[in-house]
Amino acid sequence: MISERTRNSLWKKGVTICLGLIVIIGFTSVSGAAPLSIEKQGSFAVGGTVVEATEPYDPRHPTPQSQTLHGDHANVNYQIPVDAKKPPLVFLHGAGQSMRTWQSTPDGRDGYQNIFLGKGYPVYLVDQPRRGDAGRSTVKGEIPATPDEQFWFGQFRLGIWPDFYADTQFAQGEENLDQFFRQMTPNTGPFDAGLVADSLKALFGRIGDGVLVTHSQGCGPGWLAGMGSGNIKAIAAYEPGSGFVFPEGEVPEPIDNASPFSPLKASSVPKQEFMELTRKPIVIFYGDNIPSDRVAEPHKDYWRSAREMAGKFVDAVNRHGGDACIINLPDRGLTGNTHFPFSDRNNEAVAEIFEQWLKQKGLD
């Protein structure tokens, strides 16, 4: 185990690197109400595998052995604005979510989909393999339908049920919370980060160069995809929890925390693959109500440990020559953000910070 002092030091180092990179931003108002001019929009499946038949098919006696199953693909909805001159943004949701994450907010405002279309970016929304409209899995699944929303209310840092954090940016109200809970949709087969990454690599192979934007559980597959696709020119990760990767021999000790998900572990990947992450700018965003030091409250302490691991990750990328940073939204004057900053009440300001970073990296 590394010491608390070392952890804090590594964590602060990541933040410091980041502070050096980002200038203060004047937030411009984005109405989101102007009509969108869409040059092209559509949907397609990408990636995936096929369960092949092992026997000849007889239409009079169809058997599973004589038939195929195409599954484990991602489903993609895309929109390309008229005169788009910016790189496409590919959005991957987190655990228990789908592309709904990026669409309308729980209180019915524009989400990142519309906000970034309005800014002129082509937008690709992904339902990852075995989720949402990409529900066709090659492996069987069970969906227990277990009531668990009060837990997620806490884990997603809206507050501690039934109380919202006093400064929350979540649009409170029964109807908004109802919509928020109904964004959830289950795995239709086992979660497989490698499959998700493969579908992302196939997607970028199809559309060419662009920026990958991930959330929470989706950030893990995002790092894997980033290591395997030269078309992924940058990665923006919102609130990664687990799933961080490190070069062989450099994996930090698991980080204990007060949550059921303790300890928070990181994974080892071949250094040669990890080095690909040093060849593209990376930004990691975290919202508010994440303490710097260990606390007893399980949810907050989970995110304390996640952000701590993120600091180590950023440090690993940068010490190998990369360009990674963490942006803590409270450090940019945005307080009260939940685990879903891109759909919180201040999501246009949150989007501005992201776009400013894109501009700094020449990705606009």
Amino acid, res. 194 = G
CB of 313 to a copy of itself, least distance (A): 29
CB of 58 to a copy of itself, least distance (A): 9
Q: Is 75 in the site for a copy of itself (CB under 8 A)?
A: yes
Indicate which single residue of 12, 70, 319, 359 sits in contact with a copy of itself (rule: CB under 8 A): 70
Residues in CB range of 315: below 8 A, 6 or more apart: 10, 13, 14
CB of 69 to a copy of itself, least distance (A): 4
Alpha carbon 7 to its chain centroid, in Å, reads 24
Residue 286: closest CA among 237, 343, 328, 341: 328
Q: Is 176 in the site for a copy of itself (CB under 8 A)?
A: no
Indicate which single residue of 22, 25, 95, 139 sits in contact with a copy of itself (rule: CB under 8 A): 139
The distance in angstroms from the start CA to the end CA of the chain is: 42
Q: Is 298 in the site for a copy of itself (CB under 8 A)?
A: yes
Q: Is 5 in the site for a copy of itself (CB under 8 A)?
A: no
Beta bridge partners of 235: 212, 282
Q: How many CA atoms lie within 13 A of 293 on its CB side?
A: 2
Asked whether the beta carbons of 111 and 347 are under 8 A apart, the reply is: yes
Nearer to a copy of itself, 7 or 73 (CB): 73
Q: Determine the interface stretch with a copy of itself among 181-189, 240-248, 266-274, 309-317 (rule: CB under 8 A).
A: 181-189
CB of 163 to a copy of itself, least distance (A): 10
Asked whether the beta carbons of 285 and 18 are under 8 A apart, the reply is: no
Beta bridge partners of 232: 210
Nearer to a copy of itself, 150 or 292 (CB): 150
- Please provide residue 220's backbone torsions phi and psi, each rounded to the nearest 5 degrees: -60, -60
Indicate which single residue of 10, 90, 114, 355 sits in contact with a copy of itself (rule: CB under 8 A): 114
Nearer to a copy of itself, 67 or 272 (CB): 67
Q: Determine the interface stretch with a copy of itself among 36-44, 198-206, 211-219, 330-338 (rule: CB under 8 A).
A: 36-44
Distances from the Cα of 27 to the Cαs of 15, 105, 257, 333, 355, in angstroms? 22, 20, 36, 11, 11
Q: Is 174 in the site for a copy of itself (CB under 8 A)?
A: no
Indicate which single residue of 2, 19, 141, 270 sits in contact with a copy of itself (rule: CB under 8 A): 141
Q: Is 55 in the site for a copy of itself (CB under 8 A)?
A: no
Residue 347 backbone zone (phi > 0: left; psi -120 to 50: alpha; other: beta): alpha
Q: Which two tokens stand for residue 128?
A: 């990852």
CB of 185 to a copy of itself, least distance (A): 4
Q: Is 44 in the site for a copy of itself (CB under 8 A)?
A: yes
Q: What is the DSSP string of 171-194?
A: --SHHHHHHHHHT---BSS---HH
Alpha carbon 306 to its chain centroid, in Å, reads 14
Amino acid, res. 196 = V
Indicate which single residue of 21, 25, 184, 275 sits in contact with a copy of itself (rule: CB under 8 A): 184
Helix (H, G, I), strand (E, B) or coil at 249: coil
Q: Is 82 in the site for a copy of itself (CB under 8 A)?
A: yes
Nearer to a copy of itself, 110 or 198 (CB): 110
Asked whether the beta carbons of 84 and 326 are under 8 A apart, the reply is: no
Size of the site for a copy of itself (CB under 8 A): 76
Nearer to a copy of itself, 7 or 130 (CB): 130
Q: Is 43 in the site for a copy of itself (CB under 8 A)?
A: yes
Indicate which single residue of 7, 17, 30, 77 sits in contact with a copy of itself (rule: CB under 8 A): 77
CB of 231 to a copy of itself, least distance (A): 20
Q: Is 217 in the site for a copy of itself (CB under 8 A)?
A: no
Q: Is 183 in the site for a copy of itself (CB under 8 A)?
A: yes
- Residue 162: asked if its preceding bond is cis (omega within 30°), the reply is yes
